Amino acid sequence: MVTIVGGGIAGTVLAGALARAGQSVTVYEQRPNVRGDAFLFLDGRAHKTLTAMGVPADRLERASYPLHGFRIGSAADRIDETPADGDRLYHRTDLMRVLTEFADTAKTDIRYGTPISDLNPYTGVLYPGGDSAELIIAADGIDSIARIRLEPTRVTEYAGQVVLYATAAPGTRPNTAASVLHVHHQTQDSPATFGHFWNEHVAVWFVRLSRPPIPVGYTGFHPLARWIEPIRTALPAIPYLLDFLLEHTAMAHVSNARTVPLAGALPPRLPVILCGDADHVFTRGTGARDAIEDAAALYQALVAGQDPAEAMARRRAELLAEDD
């Protein structure tokens, strides 16, 4: 039997794939999928991994929007344009709905409202309750209680930027190419990045601002008003585009960009295996894909009767190679 702590992207798709393969799986998750405007992009590689684990491709397509390409520019007027390769935009709640339906169809035992507040990484005992698990996959996110218990010195680190994600009002249509992810880098003084995507159904944007971290009380969804001037100041080269999108946006999700380093990590070992953001977070923008590929590696190992600790050790080596 496999116990998964955390019902996010990695935990849910892993649970569904294992249950679909006939394995007994229990997922502990504090709360069900909630509404919100957080969004993410998944590339073709992530989609191939999801469908290989059994997630229906047609459901993924209906819950997302295709990208036609990327347009990346800077203040030096250098512009790089590349076609997309299976990339799609998701609102996170829509992706989670697809993955939760996938897990439910496979008869996964997902226990919402059952947070795990502590665990013993040596015995596999979970608290509250004191239940013992033979194998625990800890997919409980960047503030993982499992990682704290396993490796108390491997803590999250501030990555030097505050990140805002926002969805503009319905019908917002900037004077840019539709269905393209446009990214602008400001490299002088305090580096900043602005990106946006729109089509006839949705318009979203994000900003990364180099600055000290903000207090926790100012993270989460907040009115955009207090961030308008800092954004304008950090990105002076695109005032008309910025003003148009800012004027059509009321709220933004604000967070401190954080990393979880793999350098110096203890080798994975049973009975608790870290997965996804619980184990590693990079700043390269592929966190969701990394978590999905972690889940796939563990799924393949468990279905084949192989050691999941060895599978995660190989995954770490792959991730470190990609980050070089």
Q: What is the pLDDT of residue 80?
A: 87
Q: What is the pLDDT of residue 137?
A: 98
Whether 142 and 209 map to the same domain: the answer is no
Whether 11 and 152 map to the same domain: the answer is yes
Q: What is the pLDDT of residue 217?
A: 86
What is the phi-psi region of residue 155: left when phi exceeds 0, alpha when psi lies from -120 to 50, beta otherwise?
beta
Q: How many domains does the chain have?
A: 2
120 burial type by CB count under 10 A (0-12 exposed, 13-18 middle, 19+ buried): middle
Q: What is the mean pLDDT of each run of 10 residues along the chain (324 residues)?
A: 95 98 95 70 98 98 97 77 95 95 96 92 92 94 96 96 96 96 88 96 97 92 94 93 96 95 94 97 90 98 98 96 81
Q: Is the dihedral of CA 136, 47, 107, 32 positive or negative?
A: positive
Contact partners, residue 318, CB within 8 Å, separation at least 6: none
Q: What is the pLDDT of residue 122?
A: 93
Q: What is the pLDDT of residue 79?
A: 81
Q: What is the pLDDT of residue 256?
A: 96
| Host domain of residue 242 | 158-259
Q: What is the pLDDT of residue 74?
A: 73
Whether 139 and 272 map to the same domain: the answer is yes
Structure-block tokens of residue 15: 């649970």
Q: What is the CATH number of the domain that holds 122?
A: 3.50.50.60
Whether 142 and 210 map to the same domain: the answer is no
Q: What is the pLDDT of residue 33?
A: 61
Cα 60 to Cα 55: distance, rounded to the nearest angstrom = 8
Q: What is the pLDDT of residue 261?
A: 93
Q: What is the pLDDT of residue 283?
A: 83
Contact partners, residue 107, CB within 8 Å, separation at least 6: 19
pTM confidence score: 0.94
